[in-house]
Structure 1
């Protein structure tokens, strides 16, 4: 038989016998470190903190309840109209601030029940050696005043109020018409009642000797057929202290002789006084209308006045260039015009042509 070797067991490490070992010193117990605050459970609260939280929660509840009660009370009182408007609340709550905004009130002065009479001031009888010069009062414009005897408006007032030609002649200029023509005209009788004169313009002529004042008179009843208003010229001359109404201007505007010329194609020229309005454009059915300008004639300067007639002249003519230079188109001015029928350009389409114009506005 084959002898198998017996495995050798490892030697066990045995501690040396107790009696041969050194004595071991006793170990001290190290106390465990105190737990950090984070180790303290969250549920742990001090008694004082609990009481403070209870008080705070109770205060907020009370405040919210009071606010709610105030709002409800205000709504109820507002519904019953027992509370003032919201704008007056600050003045009710803070009356002192309201007084400051208004400003300090003047303190009332105590009156003396027994006032002392004032000391009489001695009157000086001797005039001062160097009296102050008195400022001259401005002289009213006679163009606007009724109270001045020798004013244009006063003369116009007497002219309109006169009942006969004899009473009216002292306030009229001497025109080109004869005495018989004047007696057969409307100047020989009374005029209908009129409204106060409307001032139009005042012109001083180039010679500075005469002044022309223009008024528009509106009558309550027609002065003549289709004549409800008329522009009147009053002339003030340096040689005559009494202003006078221009007789020829008055009768030309009243009678409007250009209207009779519209009915009669006479080759003779006609000169008359009128109110003129110019226009640089022409759309009428006349020869060479695209190069023509127009003059429109009126009885007065009112914008609502109906035109009496229309005459034409070339846009490049010296007459229209002078008129355009001194007067704005569309503006009405007084003037003397000479017109005649033009039958040569197109006999089938005759038209009134302007051959002369004069006006104080063009000088």
Structure 2
């Protein structure tokens, strides 16, 4: 009987992609799914029901502490990826419970974490830790009992982690800006602080690479939030010629509220993705954005947890860095 591994080899794809096709995952292209299903039919592939039935005895419960971000798209995509992993391994009695807490309320997450760690049925924990040190000190005494994977924000070097390299993403954004701005043109950089996930690291990477460009850098200017940032852009644009703008936090809200005359003819590169950012790329307000594979991060963290619980390992590397993509109007998917 042909195996998923053999199917993957024949088609030149990963076994994970084959498994996703068999389980009807929305995370792969329809064209790829059709190729897999066609070969499965031709080779008379049958799912290993015996293996699955044995695995049913191994009930495992995973609690997922996901942050509820202001960017609803991010939260929805993370949850979509986690649910996809839960569906794929459902036959193994692999169960997930997703709990969301506000990104701006780290104490609420710590309170929830304390309760979850004391549950009798917990086998695994997937967490985006807002307070890394405090969360790790709470989790550490339980590490012999439960498996842990951090998602988005790295918890500790000893814990399996899935997420992007935010500093690298900042460097990529700056590289795009460096190509677009000529010598003597001015690049305004606004720093709106640390969101405890990515914005601080985005800015670190952006500044590092932007310094290699030919443009004159204005800033980084402390933004102080939405309204203050709008006033800064209006004021500086009135006083001097600003040719490019980069904002590490609240960018989509700022660009959507500022009068369009202050953004006209400016090159704007963003970090991250949302429905609002997509709309602004289509409308020519944002030139490009650097995004991570958000739903894939949720899926991979769920998969890594499955491997830890059922196989005892999740690979040699403790940090699986998700891919970064540059989105221009020409390659923007609906």
Whether these two folds match at TM > 0.5 is no
Structure with more contact order per residue of length (Cα contacts < 8 Å, sep ≥ 6): 2
Q: Greater Rg, structure 1 or structure 2? A: 1
Give the TM-score normalised by structure 1.
0.20
